[in-house]
Amino acid sequence: MADSNFIDYVKIHCRSGKGGAGSRHFHRAKYVPKGGPDGGDGGRGGHIILKGNKQMWTLLPLKFNRHIFAGNGESGSAGRSSGKDGQDVIVEVPTGTVVFDAETGEFLCEVNEHGQEIKLLRGGRGGLGNWHFKSSTNRTPRYAQPGEPAIERTVILELKLLADVGLVGLPNAGKSTLLSAVSAARPKIADYPFTTMEPQLGIVSYRGNRSFVMADIPGIIEGASEGKGLGLRFLRHIERNAVLLFMVPADADDIKAQYETLLNELRQFNPQLMDKERVLAISKSDLLDEELRHEIEKTLPADIPHVFISAVTGFGLDELKDVLWGAITDERNQIATPDITHRPLDGHHRVREEDEFVFDTPPTIEADEDNEEDFDDDFDNSYDDIEWDDDYNLDMIDEDGDTRKD
């Protein structure tokens, strides 16, 4: 995987911008001896924004840009002049990207549509200038609000490919051969286990100029839910599939037992996968005669449709497409993105080399001496009587792009 451009799991460190401090300036003019407070507000800090891009298929750009820092807001100035807002940072990710907290493994958000923008970390709000606090009993307020601090967080981005049909099977079950037979995809095919080292996508043509997407993942072995083999690392990609196509070779010792093994590994990985439509394909059926097929058919599970196929000779492929298309177009099997429950990351679902990645110590956030003003000796620098407005959108970007509410 080190030499592959397909990166579906990456750990990055993000920091939004801090808000600028409000100004405590007083108006001074030649003929205005008591101009009063006119300190402006500080600018808000920059946001960290995730944006979906359907043209991207990998998280590779983020693997070489692990530190994402937004700009800080500038302090207010005289004449009620507000400080400049910090620069937002827009991070483009492939559609199907899910974000987890790197420390706790908690699910944070997901990007599913092209152009969708999600505010991962909001910038700190700028402080109010002293002109906001003038009153009939307090005509010379010598204080202003400081800006809100920046937010730092280390997150894990996990890509889950979007496909209609996901292939599930043990190594050398014929998954890559089937994908190459029904689509233009050309995955690597060999006679040794774990030939497929990364997920492959193919567009399968169907009658009436229709088509659907099929995804092939590395083979699953018994114990994959406990971290064995490669299958667990890529099982995330079938969580978004509408239909799961289980593939068991005809020369297996016990076809039903292999199917139950695969089903159990999916159940251990994410119990919600049990709710998806399943189809069983008996591959390499060119090795069987009609009598053997009837004998094997008696031992297959009764609660799942099955098809005997041979990707080499083309036997049963048209019938398989008909069964898959019927399952995909069934309203009960339509992908309902809001209903997907993303299991939190735990020890089995993490990628060791990413989880153990150590970031360089980020620059400390220090006050800008040019934006700070000396307080009077009789002022205790206390803001207990100043309250923030908690009505703030933390999730999505407003249509006008202005998320600050004073």
Q: What is the mean pLDDT of each run of 10 residues along the chain (406 residues)?
A: 67 94 89 86 94 88 92 92 93 91 89 92 93 88 92 91 82 82 74 61 85 80 60 69 87 86 82 84 85 84 87 88 87 56 69 74 48 38 42 39 40
**What are the phi and psi torsion angles at 242 (to 5°)?**
-75, -35
**pLDDT at residue number 232:** 59
Output the six-digit token pair for 267.
């159940």
Output the six-digit token pair for 326.
């019927």
pTM for the structure as a whole:
0.70
Candidates 87, 12, 96; CA nearest to 58 is 96
Query: What does the pLDDT look like over 321-354, one tens digit per residue?
Result: 899 898 888 776 665 444 566 777 766 667 777 7
**Helices 317-329 and 175-182, packing angle to 10 deg:** 90
Report the distance separating Cα 55 and Cα 62, nearest Å: 15
83 in Cβ contact with 29 (< 8 Å):
no
Residue with tokens 């150590």: 358
Report the distance separating Cα 362 and Cα 152, nearest Å: 10
**Average pLDDT along the chain:** 79
Return the amino acid letter for 16: S
**pLDDT at residue number 170:** 82
Local structure of 312: helix, strand or coil: coil
241 in Cβ contact with 273 (< 8 Å):
no
Radius of gyration of the chain (CA): 29
Return the amino acid letter for 80: R
Give CA torsion, residues 385, 391, 394, 395, to 10 deg.
Answer: 170
Stated length of the chain: 406
286 in Cβ contact with 312 (< 8 Å):
yes
Output the six-digit token pair for 56.
């991207």
Return the amino acid letter for 18: K
Ramachandran region, residue 33 (left: φ > 0; alpha: ψ -120 to 50; beta: rest) = alpha
Report the distance separating Cα 231 and Cα 235, nearest Å: 6
75 in Cβ contact with 20 (< 8 Å):
yes
Nearest 5°: the CA angle 171, 270, 58 is 65
Report the distance separating Cα 66 and Cα 245, nearest Å: 36
54 in Cβ contact with 154 (< 8 Å):
no
- Beta strand 306-308 with 117-121: parallel, antiparallel or unpaired? unpaired
Query: What does the pLDDT look like over 52-72, one tens digit per residue?
Result: 998 888 888 998 899 999 999
Report the distance separating Cα 312 and Cα 42, nearest Å: 69
Return the amino acid letter for 292: L
Burial class of residue 142 in the structure, from the number of CB atoms within 10 Å of its CB (0-12 exposed, 13-18 middle, 19+ buried): middle
